[in-house]
Copies of this chain bind each other. A is one copy, B any other.
Amino acid sequence: MGNSFGRIFRISTFGESHGKALGVIIDGCPAGLPIEETFIQNELRRRKPGQSKITTQRKEEDEVEILSGVFDGLSTGTPISMLIRNTDQKSKDYSHIAESYRPSHADYTYAQKYGNRDYRGGGRSSARETAARVAAGAIAKLLLLHHNISIQAYVSQAGEVSLSKSYQELDLSLTESNIIRCPDQEVAERMIAHIDQVRKDRDTIGGIVSCVAKGVPAGLGEPVFDRLHAELGKAMLSINAVKGFEYGSGFKGIEMRGSQHNDAFYLEGDKVRTKTNYSGGIQGGISNGEDIYFNVAFKPVATIMQDQESIDESGNPVTVSGKGRHDPCVVPRAVPIVEAMAALVLADYLLLNRSSKL
């Protein structure tokens, strides 16, 4: 269970890292939406391995095939299914862990939960599953763009190197101009150098992906449990390696006083605005029309190119060696994944909101 996400715009993903294919079904995409395959393919290209020197060198073309739900270039309202065949699996790289538990991976927990597991490349627990999310997220983005909603994520921290500017002080259109996807070129270079050093140390680091959604109309969100930020938080925490989520003023807002933190309403033309936006565009779990922004914390990648002590399925001590081709830091490739999940949440809540009023 647990492989579906969303209520109206609902996706279900399938597939293992080294299985035949990954894929996704979207049930609930409204009919009449123009579906551009090149747009989907481009989003996958932003996520795919081997895209730069600071990502894994694994090669996967991640070509998507649309199997259903689109006719004459338009969504038909029936399930849109998409398939991505796996091509570059080197499953032999994993025979050494068939019976061992890699530290801070899901090997042990899957074995406990299910009894058996597809150990090749982490099987279902691999972040390779997120390719299916990105494909589905691309269609969610198309739906949002139709409603003038845009989403942009970027890397705001990589290990010790962090971006001190807020998103308002940055030109987010520069995000794709460097391989780390940080819109501040100077910081980007320091991040890249840092990751490069970590990679040479055969080690890994974590980071933060920040994300901004603009153009979200007031009214999205379903209190009390399905508050907009609660679902965004769940969406982000469901991404591999994520350890934390905060929106608006987040953890830092704790030390503020209410009198500072409250966002005063005013009228700008005929639009209700707030002077500050510590609320992060969401009040009482419902969007208020201001920018929605949040941070997502990723832990250091668990696969390191070093020997580590562990145990095998029988409890015997073993040494797990670092093999395969892995990312020293996931954040550059996580940017499109964060965007995809945000798009999926917003698309779903946009449709849910159609039933709020008579």
In contact, B81 and A23 (Cβ under 8 angstroms) = yes
In contact, A225 and B108 (Cβ under 8 angstroms) = no
In contact, A226 and B207 (Cβ under 8 angstroms) = no
Chain B residues within 8 Å of A124, by CB: 68, 76, 78-79, 223-224
How many residues on chain A are close to B (CB under 8 Å)?
A: 151
B104, B230, B251: the one within 8 Å of A251 (CB): B251
What 1/0 flags go to A97-113 for Cβ under 8 Å of B?
00001011110111011
What 1/0 flags go to A164-180 for Cβ under 8 Å of B?
00000000000000000
In contact, A355 and B28 (Cβ under 8 angstroms) = yes
How distant is A154 from chain B, measured CB to nearest CB, in Å?
16
In contact, A208 and B254 (Cβ under 8 angstroms) = yes
Interface status of A189 (Cβ within 8 A of chain B):
no
In contact, B230 and A238 (Cβ under 8 angstroms) = yes
Bound-complex Cα distance A279 to B354 (A) = 30
Which of chain B's residues has its CB closest to A11's CB? B225
Chain B residues within 8 Å of A272, by CB: 101, 108, 311, 315
Bound-complex Cα distance A160 to B253 (A) = 11
Bound-complex Cα distance A32 to B353 (A) = 14
In contact, A77 and B258 (Cβ under 8 angstroms) = no
Chain B residues within 8 Å of A77, by CB: 113-114, 356-357
Chain B residues within 8 Å of A260, by CB: 300
By CB atoms of chain B within 10 A, which of A77, A106, A108, A288 has the most? A77
B65, B78, B221, B306: the one within 8 Å of A109 (CB): B221
Bound-complex Cα distance A249 to B241 (A) = 11
Chain B residues within 8 Å of A351, by CB: 354-355
Interface status of A27 (Cβ within 8 A of chain B):
yes
Interface status of A15 (Cβ within 8 A of chain B):
yes
Interface status of A193 (Cβ within 8 A of chain B):
no
Binds B, one of A42-50, A51-59, A263-271, A332-340: A263-271
Interface status of A183 (Cβ within 8 A of chain B):
no
Chain B residues within 8 Å of A323, by CB: none
